[in-house]
Amino acid sequence: MLMHYRTVKREGAAEIVIKKSRFIGYAKPVVSEAEAIAFIEEIKKQHRMANHNCSAYMLGERDEIQKASDDGEPSGTAGKPILEVIKNQGLKNVAVVVTRYFGGIMLGAGGLVRAYTDGAVAGLAAAEQVYKVLHRDVRVAIDYTWHGKVDNELRGFGTLLGETEFTDKVTLRCLPLEQEAGAFIAWMTDLTQGQAEITEGEQLYVEHMELPEPKAYK
């Protein structure tokens, strides 16, 4: 799995007008080709009366899946420019649709490329770009007497934390970066003098607006 990648946070939409034609850019995070296709079909249904609903999506750790559609526009003037915007912005697992309502003025091939490029840029900006960063779910079960010290140390390091469970013991859900998981477990073992019950769980992606700095547990 990738240690991190850029995508969009949510579905977003933005409209621009170029020579009386309306271009509405839509963008959405997707995790499968089926989800991307469903999103495109949803926009097409929403804009049945539009002249064109051009689209592109890119999926996979190595961008294995790349698809683009001109939806009736001259070949290479819509889908490919949208796909190039996704690539140029370094995004993964994202689908983009640019809907066009023709305003009566021909744009020409170059004008269409620029218009669909601008529509894709607007839609992606509205969807807000984020980083998906790989973390490791680590559960730390300790006696109540350790809770104050461990909690203070974790917050001092700025460790990402999930919910804390209070039963016969305190179980802290810690989410160190995946590449730091081993160092974190060793540090926690040392901090609690080996008295913590540490369970290493699954990998998961967490959204960040910026790439987090390593914590250097020691």
The percent helix, strand, coil of the chain (3-state, each to 5) is 35, 35, 30
Its pTM stands at: 0.89
- 18-77 pLDDT, tens digit each: 999 999 999 999 999 999 999 999 999 999 999 999 999 999 999 999 999 999 999 999
The rounded distance, in Å, linking the Cα atoms of 49 and 212 is: 45
3-class DSSP state of 160: coil
Percent of the chain with pLDDT strictly greater than 70:
100
What is residue 40's DSSP assignment? H
How crowded is residue 131: how many other Cβ atoms within 10 Å of its Cβ? 16
Q: How far is CA 86 from CA 55, 82, 98, 111, in A?
A: 11, 7, 13, 19
pLDDT (0 to 100) of residue 38 = 98
* Residue 115 structure tokens: 């218009």
pLDDT (0 to 100) of residue 141 = 98
pLDDT (0 to 100) of residue 159 = 94
Domains and CATH numbers, the chain: 4-127 (3.30.230.30), 131-208 (3.30.70.240)
